[in-house]
Amino acid sequence: MSTTIPAIGLGTFRLKDQQVIDSVSTGLELGYRHIDTAQIYGNEAEVGQAIAGAKLPRQDLFVTTKIWTDNLAQDKLIPSLKESLSKLQMDQVDLTLIHWPAPSDSIAVGEYMRALKMAKDQGLTRLIGVSNFTMAHLKQAIDVVGAGQIASLQIEIHPFLQNRKLVEYARSQGIHLTAYMPLAYGKVMSDATLQKIAEKHNVSPAQVALAWSLQQGFAIIPSSTRRANLESNLQAATLALSAEDMQAIATLDRGERLANPDFAPQWD
């Protein structure tokens, strides 16, 4: 099994029932080998069904799930992950993330990071990581398990929210980044700067936004239900943006955060 996180994955946020089965099945058929789900998405069983139906060797796949905030207590985390595995029809996932820090820090970061590390020691997950952590939460996680244990920090990153402070801090600790919502819910399609760069390269603005993330070394997990989009998202890996393109996109940062639930931490 690969210890590196495939650069392009398939996100399944907001996809339910037959829709998620179709998206994952098509994705696997097109060559996606990294599937990202979460307990709160309510689709782990369907994702598992699609993966089982594809009949691919398990070692060729990289599957991520995330522990929901209700399951962060030490006595709940491992049982909840076992339930996720049973829904996914797997003995082990490749990566398990803490989805969000505990709301209002009602549970210490140390408690759930230790439980997550225990899940890894028990072989329930090959790698562990975190999602939606601030620098303060990340520091606490590092204090407990060590930066070397944190396989990825998954955060919202797209041209309109470049999250530079957090990205720089994670990099200074040698922690890999996964960008979620890399297309800003499709908002990248109507941005004039991205459209102009896309025209120059004869690609779509979505491919430009994805290439921008990939060129910075982030893994990306765009989601789509349309075969044509699933296909073109994969092709973003072949697009090389110039330094000038990258510089133009750097100016688009406006701190526009799309995932900001009421229980979110105080962002950096």
Query: pLDDT tens-digit profile of 233-262?
Result: 999 999 999 999 999 999 999 999 999 999
Block residue for tokens 């990825």: 152
Q: What phi, psi does 204 have (nearest 5°)?
A: -95, 155
Per-residue pLDDT at 3: 65
CA–CA gap between residue 12 and residue 38 (Å, rounded): 8
Q: In this model, does residue 228 exceed pLDDT 60?
A: yes
**DSSP string of 78-142?**
HHHHHHHHHHHT-S-EEEEEE-SPPGGG-S-HHHHHHHHHHHHHTTSEEEEEEES--HHHHHHHH
Q: Taking all residues of the chain, what is their mean pLDDT, rounded to a whole number?
A: 97
Nearest to 220 by CA among 63, 34, 37: 34
Q: In this model, does residue 65 exceed pLDDT 70?
A: yes
Do 100 and 264 form a contact (C-beta atoms < 8 A)?
yes
Reported as a single tens digit per residue, the pLDDT across 17-59 is 999 999 999 999 999 999 999 999 999 999 999 999 999 999 9
Q: Where are the domains of the chain?
A: 10-185+213-226
| Rounded (5°) CA angle 67-70-75 | 80
DSSP-based helix, strand, coil % in the chain, nearest 5 = 50, 15, 35
Task: Spell out the residues 6+ positions from residue 146 whose beta carbon is closer than 8 angstroms to its own.
Answer: none
Considering the candidates 32, 41, 112, 180, report the single residue annotated as catalytic. 41
CA–CA gap between residue 216 and residue 169 (Å, rounded): 15
Task: Spell out the residues 6+ positions from residue 99 whose beta carbon is closer than 8 angstroms to its own.
Answer: 38, 39, 40, 66, 67, 68, 69, 131, 132
**Percentage of the chain lying above the pLDDT 90 cut:** 99
Q: 177-180 and 150-156: which strand pairing?
A: parallel
Which amino acid type is present at position 140? Answer: Q
CA–CA gap between residue 201 and residue 128 (Å, rounded): 37
Q: In this model, does residue 111 exceed pLDDT 50?
A: yes
User: pLDDT-derived band of residue 2, with 50, 70 and 90 as boundaries?
Assistant: very low
- Is residue 169 part of the annotated active site? The answer reads no
Sign of CA dihedral 91, 97, 103, 104: positive
Block residue for tokens 């598992």: 48
Per-residue pLDDT at 4: 87
CATH number of 10-185+213-226: 3.20.20.100
